[in-house]
Amino acid sequence: MSEWISRHPELLVAGLKAGVLIFVLLTAVAYMVWFERKLIAHIQSRWGPYRVGPHGLLQPLADGLKFLFKEDIILTNVTSRFVYLFAPFLSLALALLAVAVIPFGPEEFELLGTRTGLYVADINVGLLFVLAVTSLGVYGVVLAGWSSNSKYPLLGGLRSAAQMISYELALTFAVVGVLLLAGTLSLREIVDGQSGTWAGFLPRWHVFPQFVAFVCFFVAGVAETNRTPFDLPEAESELVAGFHTEYSSLKFAMFFMAEYAHIITTSLLVTILFFGGWLSPFPDTAAWNFTRFLPSVLTAVLALLFFRDAFRLTNQYHRVLTFLICMGLAGLAFLLLHPTALVLAQGPFWLLAKTGMFLFVFVWTRATLPRFRYDQLMAFGWKLLVPLAVLNVFVTSFVVAWRAD
């Protein structure tokens, strides 16, 4: 066995990276929920989670434990017991799978004697893989709605089937514009193609020539993840909880995590396709060299904020925890100054910073906008987004063909 492993070190490396990525992603999902609750609360002039840990930072942990210990109700009158149990698993698995091909940075490093990069898999059809896997996600929702043998989930499942399939079209057409410019399906090469600047300062990101595609892609992406204003499949005021009404405990948590994993994937994808992925927004010249220290500086600032809180908070246990977090962040800030780490951290830092911006927009729209009605949603998708995306494909192809001549 050990001999077999030593002959295939790349498998071990891939397994290791996948493990780390899943851990990071699940943590990110949990803290995405925290971030959303906190941000919406502040928009609505509330505090949001504040009791469990400093600033409610341990709230995701408490929520996770609660989900674990809740009674796991399995209905006896489900349409199909297997499908009923399989649907949440399918949803979560597919949502996590998509991140496998996302590259987080350009740098390569040595791990267990293998040269490898900041990705789990670099396949030449990465974009197709992401689109395929995310569009399979509709099965989880539809099967859950159908197998629950209940009316509200059924309506939720039907709505989401129609919605996700309709917006899939706009999403895919919007991507075609980028593909025509990039000429490749590999996410890594798409990002590499966006390096450099126009006129010395404007980054060569696809968002500038492909602004229409970006808008279509982002709006369709919001619809794909069933978020406000397109959250019809789980419209609380209409369908109680939509397709996951009949799910409890960890099975509900799996749908929940799947939704947030989808949000993160969509944000990552928008960043990679339109906003230059891991590329820094600053020109690659000596004058802008100091921006390499941004990750370290921002971590240090964050550490200082926590340091202030360690003295400001009244709860003793929160103060200790805040101080520990502060120490951890300060250590990380120092670590990021190390020459190897400095180079390695650039890609993930910019990618995650830009992704965070889109996560913010996701939450912001949820706090601001009312919900579409079913027919309006369909009209918006088919009569506005799809024609716009198709038009964009035509215009882009003409321009690309004209410049090739």
SS3 206: coil
Which is nearer to another protein, 224 or 309 (by Cβ)?
224
Question: What single string gives the DSSP state of each residue in 287-355?
Answer: GGGGGGGHHHHHHHHHHHHHHHHHHH-S-HHHHHHHHHHHHHHHHHHHHTTSHHHHHHHHHHHHHHHHH
Tokens 């990039």, located at residue: 182
Among 22, 26, 40, 330, which residue sits at the site for another protein (rule: CB under 8 A)?
Answer: 40
Among 238, 249, 337, 378, which residue sits at the site for another protein (rule: CB under 8 A)?
Answer: 238
Which is nearer to another protein, 352 or 377 (by Cβ)?
377
CA distance 131 to 224: 11
Which residue stretch of 114-122, 234-242, 348-356, 396-404 sits at the interface with another protein (rule: CB under 8 A)? 234-242
Q: Give, as ranges, the residues between 344 and 363 that touch another protein (CB under 8 A).
A: none
**Shortest Cβ 231–another protein spacing (Å):** 7
Q: Are 249 and 82 in contact (CB under 8 A)?
A: no
Binding status of residue 71 toward another protein by CB under 8 A: no
Which is nearer to another protein, 293 or 374 (by Cβ)?
374
Binding status of residue 43 toward another protein by CB under 8 A: yes
Binding status of residue 369 toward another protein by CB under 8 A: yes
Among 231, 234, 246, 309, which residue sits at the site for another protein (rule: CB under 8 A)?
Answer: 231
**Shortest Cβ 218–another protein spacing (Å):** 17
CA distances from 116 to 18, 103, 112, 272, 342 (A): 13, 11, 10, 20, 18
CA distance 190 to 187: 5
Which residue stretch of 25-33, 66-74, 227-235, 296-304 sits at the interface with another protein (rule: CB under 8 A)? 227-235
Among 136, 240, 297, 327, which residue sits at the site for another protein (rule: CB under 8 A)?
Answer: 240
Q: At what angle do helices 9-43 and 81-97 cross, to 10 degrees?
A: 100
Among 76, 113, 370, 403, which residue sits at the site for another protein (rule: CB under 8 A)?
Answer: 370
Query: What is the sign, positive or negative, of the torsion defined by CA atoms of 298, 300, 305, 309?
Result: positive
Looking at residue 382, what DSSP letter applies? Answer: I
Binding status of residue 45 toward another protein by CB under 8 A: yes
Which residue stretch of 98-106, 141-149, 232-240, 397-405 sits at the interface with another protein (rule: CB under 8 A)? 232-240
**Shortest Cβ 66–another protein spacing (Å):** 21
401: number of Cβ within 10 Å = 10
| Residues in CB range of 149: below 8 A, 6 or more apart | 75, 77, 78, 79, 246
Max CA-CA distance within the chain?
Answer: 71
CA distance 244 to 141: 8
Which is nearer to another protein, 157 or 347 (by Cβ)?
157
Which residue stretch of 43-51, 54-62, 78-86, 213-221 sits at the interface with another protein (rule: CB under 8 A)? 43-51
Q: Give, as ranges, the residues between 313 and 332 that touch another protein (CB under 8 A).
A: none
Residue 40, both tokens: 């919406």
Q: Are 269 and 151 in contact (CB under 8 A)?
A: no
Which is nearer to another protein, 230 or 349 (by Cβ)?
230
Which is nearer to another protein, 164 or 300 (by Cβ)?
164
Binding status of residue 151 toward another protein by CB under 8 A: yes
Which is nearer to another protein, 358 or 372 (by Cβ)?
372
Q: Are 313 and 322 in contact (CB under 8 A)?
A: yes
**Shortest Cβ 56–another protein spacing (Å):** 18
Number of residues this chain uses to bind another protein (CB under 8 A): 29
Interaction site with another protein (CB under 8 A): 40, 43-46, 151, 155, 159, 228-229, 231-232, 235-240, 366-376
